[in-house]
Structure 1
Amino acid sequence: MRIALDYRPVTVAPSSGIARQVKALEQALRTLDDTEVVVFSEAPLDHPQRATALCPTWASPLEGLQRPQVRLRFERGFLPRTIREQRIDLYIATANMGLPLGHKPAGTRYVLVLHDLFQLTHRNFHRSRLKALAYRLIDAASIAWSVWRADQVWCPSQFSCSEAARLFPWARAKFRVLNNLVPSFTEAAQPLPDGVPSRYWLLVGTREPRKNMRFFLQQWQACRAKDANVPDLVLVGHASDVPAPLGELAGLHWYSGLSDGQLQALYGHAACLWQPSYAEGFGLPVVEALSVGTRVAVARGSALDEVAPPSAPRFDPHNPEQLQTVMLSLAASDTPVDPEPQHAWARRFAEPAYRRHLDTLLKGLNR
């Protein structure tokens, strides 16, 4: 079987969460017997991706691959013809949309990987309201088209499946759960970045409004005023992701552009990983923290209910009193966490389980 993967997320942002899942899916597919994996992408003419991926002959701007006109040319002018020429049995679109526009070759199956639908259901980060509205309308049409064209739609959590069925009830029978793969860190942990305090809480990912950072930082600030034991915060993101007064609070330490080894070190030394999002399609940092034995505390609702163990402290993402109660309780506790239950829970999302589930989905497609 020849399987083609949409590799554009890896080309654009190879360290992003979606790109990491695309690479994990590629590696899992390459281990299957009687399977050949081909990757499709687009890139500038001098980009190294062209050495390993099938790309259009035309140059594509790396910083503009998500623009509608660029996507349209790739999905209409390149994909249908190339899928036929390459005799692809299964084409997998990997970033919420992107299935080919045009006639579907006989015998070819399409799968859509639908990470979440927050670009339709929540306010995303855009510099202008007009741009936000335009992208919402375009994304709604693109996602609906891909859901309609797909033979199956793979979602990383039951929450995401339920949201997809709510928005596209006519496609309910297509949705399947394929939890994200969270492999063990392959690099050895590196030294902590400069300036990291000896005791800290950690947050990973701060950009989108649904990450709930304004609310979280306000409650953390209030708790610091009540109890000096509340630790500093280390945030993987940018201070510009939150309003200026909050991003500049004393006790905040912002980092970006970290290697996997540095991120692993931050997870491993943190007293707790916090995930205050009111909407998550999976929650990769939660499982990554658990995989190194670190305690996690998460907001109730969305996919965080599935990916965090029952023992994890939880709070309403809109209730300041609840969050402050959990913060003050954890700040007062110096009891070490037994890492083995954390490791055991994280193994639910490791390679053996992921590959078994993927194999089941592929066999279902071939029936």
Structure 2
Amino acid sequence: MKIGFDGKRVTQNFTGLGNYSRYVLKILAEYYPENQYTVFVSKANHNSSYFPEYPSIHFHFPKNQLIKNYWRSAGIVKDLRKEKIELFHGLSNEIPFGLKKAGIPSVVTIHDLIFYRYPKYYPFLDRKIYEFKVRYASEHADKIIAVSEQTKSDLINFFNVDESRIEVIYQNCDPIFMSEVSEQEKTRIRSAYNLPEEFLLNVGTIETRKNSLLIVKALKKLKANIHLVIIGKETLYTQVVKDFISNNNLMSRVHFLKNVSFQDLPGIYQQARIFIYPSEFEGFGIPVVEALSSGVPVIAAKGSCLEEAGGKGSIYVDPNDSDELADQINLVINNTKKRELMIRSGFEHIINFSNQKIADKLFKLYQNLI
């Protein structure tokens, strides 16, 4: 089987959508290596060194670099036909024009409709572009993959997509989070990043929707020996968080880390007392899966898909209630049995995200369309 993929996020994005794109390619190449996976990338300065261990993954670039935007949205179809691609998978909310006319079956992964639910967080023009792309893909793809039941529900309720055309297929986190880090390595990491002895952890872009201010407000109500480590790209919202920290004399207890090595991330997770993710809304919530895989209890926000990512053993709070969050943090920190139960439950829950299971679902979906 020859399957084509939109490679924009594969080579240019190193957070959520890019991680998903690379993850899909890796598990397909690992569990179904007999197929050919061609990644269509508009920028020719990237190459297959992203996947040297997977010979079934190939990269294809446009011959004319001057028209790469047109090529990605429409001109790519000519190359798909030339390469005899049997199915095309748009990995990040969009597909090119003209696939149906060319007789090429297509799948699109829709990650979330946050831009539609929370328009205040997006510039007007960006919002309209996102909506156009998602609506077009939802209407013209032969099958839609939603990364959560929440995203599936949003597609049905907001865009009137026929439920029968949507299949929920989760994603897993990188296997690096499932390996126990040695005590020697933990010591090195603790020293390298000047980590406190006992800390809560939050990972993700520091933006309004992610709601890290709620954790800082809760921290004020906790014992002084409990610290907070926040890892993520800073935005204008970060200053709001830092102003609250300064105004409430919490500077010594909140630690912002940037440019953390991906290889060091599991060692930081595994030293945290609790992972806290109070985001107002997510499409799935991979950091929650990373935390559970690292053996860390999770407290997340109610109201979106985080219950799917975190399972029944995690705790969920109102994303606007810092008192409730503080109470639940104290409960977990002061109750060893509760904490151990949450960790065990987390390990049981992440079986639902096994790479084999997800690869099987993807391949079966492809087979049914060809």
- What TM-score bracket applies, with the shorter chain setting the length? 0.7 to 0.9
SS of match in other structure, 2:352: helix
- Greater mean deviation of Cα atoms: 31-40 or 198-207: 31-40
Counterpart for residue 125 of structure 2:
134
SS of match in other structure, 1:337: helix
- In structure 1, the gaps of 5 or more residues are 61-68, 127-131
**Aligned residue among 86, 90, 104 for 2:100:** 104
Q: 1:208 offset after TM fit, Å?
A: 3.7
Aligned equivalents of 1:204 and 1:117: distance in 2?
21
Letter in 2 for 1:284: I
Query: How far does the alpha carbon of each residue in 1:241-300 deviate from its partner, in whole angstroms, 9 at most, with x for none?
Result: 534252263111112222332110111111011110121111111111111211111111
Tell whether the 8 Å contact from 1:118 to 1:124 is kept in structure 2 after alignment: no
Is 1:56 aligned to 2:58, yes or no? no
Tell whether the 8 Å contact from 1:183 to 1:351 is kept in structure 2 after alignment: no
Counterpart for residue 9 of structure 1:
9
Counterpart for residue 274 of structure 1:
276
Q: 1:181 to 1:311 in 2, by over 3 A?
A: closer
Is 1:115 aligned to 2:111, yes or no? yes
- In structure 2, the gaps of 5 or more residues are 51-57, 246-250
Letter in 2 for 1:11: T
Match runs of 1:39-54 below 5 Å? 39-43=39-43, 45-48=44-47, 53-54=59-60
Match runs of 1:112-191 below 5 Å? 112-123=108-119, 132-185=123-176, 189=181, 190=185, 191=188
Q: 1:240 offset after TM fit, Å?
A: 4.1
RMSD between superposed Cα atoms in Å:
2.6
Counterpart for residue 209 of structure 1:
208
Aligned equivalents of 1:286 and 1:96: distance in 2?
22
Q: 1:237 to 1:183 in 2, by over 3 A?
A: closer
Letter in 1 for 2:293: S
TM-score of the aligned structures, taking structure 1 as reference length: 0.85
Counterpart for residue 63 of structure 1:
none
Aligned equivalents of 1:334 and 1:228: distance in 2?
20
Letter in 2 for 1:112: V
Is 1:247 aligned to 2:246, yes or no? no
**Aligned residue among 343, 365, 368 for 1:364:** 368
Tell whether the 8 Å contact from 2:200 to 2:229 is kept in structure 1 after alignment: yes
Q: 1:124 offset after TM fit, Å?
A: 6.7
Q: 1:354 offset after TM fit, Å?
A: 1.3
Counterpart for residue 35 of structure 2:
35
Counterpart for residue 220 of structure 1:
219
Aligned equivalents of 1:344 and 1:311: distance in 2?
9
Counterpart for residue 55 of structure 2:
none
Match runs of 1:271-310 below 5 Å? 271-310=273-312
TM-score of the aligned structures, taking structure 2 as reference length: 0.84
Aligned equivalents of 2:120 and 2:231: distance in 1?
19
Aligned equivalents of 1:170 and 1:300: distance in 2?
25
Aligned equivalents of 1:247 and 1:331: distance in 2?
25
Letter in 1 for 2:212: M
Tell whether the 8 Å contact from 1:206 to 1:241 is kept in structure 2 after alignment: no
SS of match in other structure, 2:291: helix
Q: How many aligned positions are there?
A: 345
Aligned equivalents of 1:259 and 1:124: distance in 2?
32
